[in-house]
Chain A
Amino acid sequence: MDPAVGWLLLWGTLVGLDLITWPQAMIARPLVAGTVAGWILGDVASGAAVGVILELFALDLLPVGAARYPDYGVGAVGAAYAATGAPDTLSWGLATLLGLGMAYAGQTGIHLVRRRTAADVRDLAEALDAGDPNTIRGVHVRGIARDAARALGVTVLGLVLASAIRAGPLMTLQGTALLQMATLGAALGVGVLGAVRLAGRGPGRVWLGVGLVAGVTWVLLT
């Protein structure tokens, strides 16, 4: 096995854990997860590219309350593995599709982990309601272990699928270009949706408008 794959498995697990369970330092942001995965693979540019694309998708995400959220970080690790080593930027589309699928699988996994922890809580309700510190610690540690297993599982799945993408072209050049256009457009559209939702109504929208004008000016001047 390529030693880099071992590091990616470790990185994917840490990134998946960081999303909710420990330590929430935001290494789970796709920009970070994808760029570091690219660095592990010796291709920072491709890792950063899929990281930026998935970061635009993640702008739509407001993880408030008990909301379910996609695991874009683990998705970025798989996407970076799929994108690196490819001859040109046309590989980003398929890599992003894999990243989105992994993010969704990670989200489903989070739901299952929470349900399993809830079952644990119900089974041990008597000891928890008596304030037993060992039971509290036990449920807590098992929850963390479950989430680590979830993150590792999604990373393994993603890297297996990414290996198939790296193995060779799945479609014609025209088909790949179409996929690339759809990927960039969808990322920008979802990013704009997230920005509008973030700004809300009132002064936030004015600040968003000012930012967009400043961003377009930056693009035109550089």
Chain B
Amino acid sequence: MIRPLTQAWLRSFSVQGSFNYDRMVGLGLAYVMEPLVRDLPGEDARGVRYRRALARAAAFFNAHPYFVPLGAAALARAEREAVPEAQVERLKNALIASLGSIGDRLVWTGWLPACSAGGLLVSVAVSPLAGIAAFLIAYNVLHLLLRWWGLRAGWRDGVHVATALSGPVMRLALRVVGRAAPLAVGVAIPVAAEWLARGAPPAALPGVAVAGVSAVVLGRWLAPALGGVRIGLALVGTAFLVGLLWP
């Protein structure tokens, strides 16, 4: 089974290629799962079980992209073991909730900001090229491992895959990154600020502070739904217009 698993792993890197608002990542799930159900045991010549398995997968599904291989492998295993359709659906629904939550906490709000902050620090303290190398290597070690581990765990455990998600290593990892991310970002912000402001005249610092406080007030209290990019566009765009008119 190493060849289909490898094919599924490689396909998983494009799992969000067909992301859409109707079925979310459902088509991506089916695309990743396809090599794992291509030779279902007991299949007839028309490929009825194969097509039903793909159709079920291609309906609505959503999860963190790095954890989709786990879901694809677990569902493929269930299909190969001829688990009743209702039970496959229950498994799929349970995976939507748990894979999204764990993936978001482990990667998007944990490992990614921690590595990003680490990359900023190395960029400032050593060199920009060293910073991005450190960031990409550190981040992608976990990224690649997660995709492969999830695929193996889903394939091994099938409908019982929840045991892999609630193991002590996963709990420890969630606890560690939950602390490491705010700690690393906290260190990185003042260091990056000092690096960017290096060489600026002292008279400019109050202006920087006014803009910073304005961004915080805008994003925290006045317009929390605005988001960073629109806050930036509003403040920097206003300064640009004023700058154009400056005599």
Contacts and interface: CB of A to CB of B under 8 A. Distances in A.
Contacts of A177: 204
A209 B20 CA distance: 39
B239 A183 contact: yes
Interface residues of B, number: 103
Interface stretch (B87-95, B129-137, B152-160, B162-170): B129-137
A25 B196 contact: no
A186 B179 contact: no
Given A44-B128, A140-B17, A189-B216, 8 more contacts: A21-B16, A23-B14, A35-B131, A70-B229, A133-B51, A188-B212, A192-B216, A193-B231
A63 B108 contact: yes
Q: Interface of chain B, helix or strand or loop or mixed?
A: helix
A143 B18 contact: yes
Interface of A: 20-27, 29, 31-32, 35-36, 38-39, 44-45, 47-49, 51-53, 55-66, 70, 72, 89, 93-94, 96-97, 100-101, 103-104, 107, 114-115, 117-118, 120-122, 128-133, 136-137, 139-144, 147, 170-172, 174-196, 198-199, 203-205, 207-216, 218-219
Interface of B: 13-14, 16-24, 27-28, 30-31, 34, 50-56, 58-59, 62, 65-66, 100, 104, 108-109, 112-113, 115-116, 119-120, 123-124, 128-129, 131-132, 135-136, 139-140, 143, 178-197, 199-200, 204, 207-216, 219-220, 227-233, 235-240, 242-247
B208 A188 contact: yes
A137 B31 CA distance: 7
Nearest to B29: A136
Contacts of A140: 14, 17-18, 27-28, 31
Contacts of A24: 13, 16, 65-66, 143
User: 10 closest A-B pairs (Cβ-Cβ)?
Assistant: A211-B186, A185-B211, A189-B215, A175-B243, A60-B228, A182-B239, A48-B128, A131-B55, A131-B51, A181-B207
B229 A57 contact: yes
B236 A179 contact: yes
A57 B228 contact: yes
A183 B28 contact: no
**A170, A174, A194, A211: residue with the most chain B Cβ atoms closer than 10 Å:** A211
Given A100-B232, A178-B243, A20 B123 contact: no
